[in-house]
Amino acid sequence: MAASIGTTTTTSDLLKQYWHDFFLENLYAAFSLKGLTTKAKVGSGNGKVVWWVGMSKVSPVGASLSEGADPNSASSTARRVSGTLTEYGKLVKNSRLFMDTAIDGTKEQIMKDLAQDAGKLLNGTLLATALGGSNVVYAGGKVHRSDVVEACTASVAEIMKCVRLLRLSSATTFPDGKYVALAHPDVSYDLMQDTKWVDVSRYRDTVKYDIPGEVGTLYGVRFIDDPTIEILLNSGSANTDLYRTLVFGPGYLGQSELGELEIVMNEPGRNSELNMFNTYGYRFVMANNILHEARGVRLESNSTLA
């Protein structure tokens, strides 16, 4: 992701690079889906619609051949999924007097807060889409959200059901041979009680790539703690709170590149004849969509900590 820095003309290129790196480092610290989505490039002058193209599996499978004869041919089917670019951003305006008299480190804290806000905004936007898939497993063998009761907590059996659905649909795993799950910490707590749970500290040195927020693995699924996943209050039976855990493989969620992430740091800010204020902020554009429904499963459950 490239980033441009909007600053005063006196800001050196070296300092611009510093703020660029500082912002991205703190943005990605709050982004649990980093590296887990399918990217699409955003080209200028191509409109607001972004496209992802995928190939469906060839069907049926191959068969034995008759000597000297070619088999019946089959063709691949391409499918296109679109998403519309949307602008996102935030602006902070402080008086110049406040910034001139603030203690050392104030500017760094402002930019760190903005970067983390951008990461949470990016993450939350993608999560809202990802959690809207049509494949759902309800804990406790229930068949509808309104049937889930307090005793319906997440367990290894429920995770096995999710993995089963992914495997039946031929959903591929990530390069390490595992699926990934985004779970609320309350759900992770329940799963950690199972003897089959493997804490991340026991295998971190062997993984091919790190995933921010990873807490452990269970039945071929790497679990990522994400406290930003919204709890659906009073949505189950007898006002039971519902937690949503997403188990998925590559190609489930599409995300456009952020294009030119703009980081704003104007000292002084614009539109003030007396240079009375400074402005700090960010802006980016993004599109996203579910690419293959069959490559993701949502588990809805309660938690013992609810």
Virtual torsion, Cα 247, 248, 249, 254, nearest 10 deg: -150
- The class (CATH top level) of 139-250+292-301 is alpha beta
Residues linked to residue 91 through DSSP beta bridges, in sequence order: 281
| Range 266-286 average pLDDT | 84
| Range 284-299 average pLDDT | 94
3 has a pLDDT exceeding 60 = no
59 has a pLDDT exceeding 80 = no
| Range 148-156 average pLDDT | 96
| Range 266-283 average pLDDT | 84
As given in the structure block, the two tokens for residue 305 are 């900590």
| Range 274-286 average pLDDT | 88
As given in the structure block, the two tokens for residue 241 are 């709170």
Higher-confidence position of 104 and 156? 156
The predicted pLDDT at position 178 comes to: 95
Which segments of the chain belong to CATH 3.30.2320? 139-250+292-301
The predicted pLDDT at position 1 comes to: 47
pTM: 0.84
As given in the structure block, the two tokens for residue 153 are 């907590």
List strand residue ranges (DSSP E) for the chain, in order.
2-7, 38-40, 49-55, 78-84, 86-95, 136-138, 179-183, 198-199, 214-218, 221-225, 243-248, 253-256, 260-266, 277-286, 288-290, 296-301
| Range 215-226 average pLDDT | 95
C-beta separation of 139 from 299 below 8 A = yes
| Range 27-54 average pLDDT | 84
pLDDT band at 9 (very low <50, low <70, confident <90, very high): very low
Assigned CATH for 2-55+77-129+254-288: 3.30.2400
Identify which of 295, 299, 249, 257 has the alpha carbon closest to the alpha carbon of residue 79. 295
Q: Following DSSP, what letter does each residue of 139-194 receive, concatenated?
A: GGG-SSGGG--TT-B--HHHHHHHHHHHHHTTPPPPTTS-EEEEE-HHHHHHHHTS
Identify which of 171, 134, 137 has the alpha carbon closest to the alpha carbon of residue 249. 171
The predicted pLDDT at position 57 comes to: 58
Average pLDDT of the residues of the chain: 87
Which segments of the chain belong to CATH 3.30.2400? 2-55+77-129+254-288
Q: Over the range 82-99, which residues count as b (16 or more CB within 10 Å of their CB) and which as e?
A: ebebeeebeeeebebeeb
Half-sphere exposure of 302 (CA within 13 A, CB side): 23
78 has a pLDDT exceeding 50 = yes
pLDDT band at 259 (very low <50, low <70, confident <90, very high): low
Question: What's at 148, amino acid-wise?
Answer: V
Identify which of 63, 59, 39 has the alpha carbon closest to the alpha carbon of residue 51. 39
Identify which of 147-161, 207-221, 264-278 has the greatest average pLDDT.
147-161
pLDDT in tens, 295-306: 999 999 999 998
Cα separation, 103 vs 58, in Å, equals 64
Q: How many residues does the chain have?
A: 306
Higher-confidence position of 206 and 241? 241
